[in-house]
A and B are shown apart, each in its own frame.
Chain A
Amino acid sequence: MKVEAKILLGLGLFFGLMCAVYWNWSLENAGGVMMFAAMLLGFLPGSYYYWWSRRMKQRPEDNPQATQTQGAGVVGAFPGSSIFPFVMGMGAFFVVLALVFGIWLLVPGLGLVVWALLGGTAEGRRGGQH
């Protein structure tokens, strides 16, 4: 986990430096703001990972000598199939079409999105189909 954290922190640091140089030199705000946000995107998850990496014991994937047996067991729930991504995708499609062809398309669009959110969450609770 340390390597992962350091990559993000390193990127954050670099963007921070670049932001400082650029903003002070160019006095142009759009780019300055965007680079500041990029710095945050490095620092926020990076520092969280770093904080965790010091508290947890080494994971088998970080151990160069790990054997495959150490990885045995459940790694997570992997639903084999689900209709809700498709439903959600169609919902988003209609929402976007509403931007072009008329506001009424929001009704089926948001309807499908809400259905997918509820259905997908319930399915997640059950652990999904296989």
Chain B
Amino acid sequence: MTDVLDPPVHVEPHDGGHEEHHGPTGILNWLTTTDHKVIGLSYTVTAVIMLVIGGLFAEIIRGQLATPNGTLVSLAQYNELFTMHGSVMIYLFAGPFAFGALANIIVPIQIGAPDMAFPRLNALSYWLYLTGAITMLSGFFTAGGAANFGWVGYAPLSNSLNTPGAGADLWIGGLLLTGFSAIFTGVNLVATIFYLRAPGMTMFRMPIFTWNMLVTAILILLAFPVLTAGLIMLYADRHFGTHIYSVAGGGVPVLWQHIFWFWGHPEVYILALPFFGMVTEIIAVFSRKPVFGYKGMIFATLTIAALSLGVWAHHMFTTGVVLLPFFSIMSLLIAVPTGIKMFNWIGTMWRGQIWFSTAMLMAIGFLFTFLIGGLTGIYLASPPLDFFTHDTYFVVAHFHSVVMALVLAGMAGLYYWGPKITGYLLNEKIGKAQFWFLFIGSQVFTIPLYILGLQGMPRRMAVYPHDPQWKMLNDLSTLGAVLIGLSTVLFVVNVVVSWKKYPAGDNPWDAHTLEWFTTSPPPHHNFYRLPQIRSERPTWDHNHPEHRALHHGEHEPAHENAGAKQ
């Protein structure tokens, strides 16, 4: 089949050879590496550890709420726990996992690049992320405990009078470090995608995952500097006697909310778009079809990103000082491109030869769970309904449907791309068991919370009134949390059990995109040779020359021996 290959040429690093790479080994190798795959792997491991830490906090929270007057933790500890649970999950798990871990590893390979555009900056991003995580978590070891003003750090609760102590400052410091880390990753991704694509890899041939990462990176560059500036002002208020967020000195507390959410809502999409990209690839590969509506998908992503900058104050409806109609209309408009994506995902599966691998099950679980989160979001975008449910468990349930969908998608990504990174597959039986625990657990955990929220149970409370129905619903939710916890245990068990057991080969899924053309794991600088790139599925075209002409949007029944791999 080499006849369809161009002569094996490859971009040469200027030392001439990409195969013989003599670097330091062991711990020194880890400290000095600039290889995007190693950095990405460090990100992956660190982010999964953060998921486990944040998950442990969540289990303690749910343990406390299993009874109306729980005594597992004190009221003060509860405040620290929900603050650090939210902070660890959002700042230290979901974001870095999305744009530091998988994107770092996969994007350069998907576009045929030897590395990220700025490898040393990439390494710096990781060190800032790691030290930022350590900084934020070290709050638990200070006298006053960790930050306890919620993951949003609203003024004036976060000022030096209401929250003195090192924990809050460590929270701010940790966010400064991880904020710069994110910004550098954003710069790196944009430069890589704009400048390091392989010949023939035009913009409209890039895999959807890469497209989504480009848009995510642009959003990072728009949003994160705002948060960083806001945090510096918060620190100044706390220590230098400025009054930016305090009424006393002529400042405006609600300014913090504007700044925070001007970052915070785009952050929702910074978290979500990478996972949307993952499931798009996975659904196409395991339906054995091209992505349905490829350009529509890209257009939807760009529209979501653009609109996401104009909706921040839907988190502030109840402050009474925001322009309700503007933010309501903009928020509702986002449902349109998101709906397009939903239809495209279903369209991709439609009449495909579906292979229910663990990755595919996780992706389908994502669709279902995200649909619930998306629909309840539409309720919240309507001010009258939000007035009623704001700060109740309805909101907690809404965004947990969304984030649990992202966890499902992230797991799909690990099962799908893990073999490419490590060279070994994970056990599918344990994987499927993990899926059912995670998927059912997510629903059992969130659905009671919707009901509790509608009945008025406020969030961020360690105790609640004695009421048999509330106790029953809270117990159900705790049961869901336990199921989710068990799913994480199964994942760890799977990694241990499958350790170097099932060699993956270059392309175990008969997948479409360039990363499946190279070896697993890929060599230093990624490729020994590249195929012709004539569509958005170069590896597929190369492996199935008889189907080269297939274009996206075509409803061709999948080819013979499609199911052979099952």
Contact = CB atoms under 8 A, between A and B. Distances in A.
Contact of A72 (B9, B169, B313): B9
B136 to A, nearest CB: 10
Contact of A93 (B11, B34, B114, B177): B177
B233 to A, nearest CB: 12
A96 B176 contact: yes
Given A80-B23, A82-B123, A89 B312 contact: no
B198 interface: yes
Contacts of B31: 83, 86
Contact of A68 (B135, B205, B306, B532): B532
B200 A67 contact: yes
A122 interface: no
Nearest to A7: B302
A14 B306 CA distance: 7
Interface residues of B, number: 85
A89 B202 contact: no
| Most central of A25, A35, A68, A93 by chain B CB within 10 Å | A68
Task: Please classify the interface of chain A as helix (H, G, I), strand (E, B), loop, or mixed, using the class held by over half of its residues.
Answer: helix
Contact of B135 (A25, A81, A84, A97): A97
A101 B166 contact: yes
B169 A90 contact: no
Given A85-B123, A120-B120, A77 B13 contact: yes
Contacts of B120: 79, 82, 84-85, 120
A4 B92 CA distance: 30
Given A62-B202, A67-B200, A99-B173, A18 B127 contact: no
A89 B128 contact: yes
Interface in A75-116: 75-86, 88-90, 92-93, 96-97, 99-101
Given A67-B200, A83-B31, A99-B173, A22 B323 contact: yes
Contacts of A89: 124, 126-128, 130-131
Given A3-B203, A31-B258, A38-B309, A81 B131 contact: no
Interface stretch (B218-226, B423-431, B503-511): B218-226
Contact of A78 (B119, B194, B529, B533): B119
B262 interface: yes
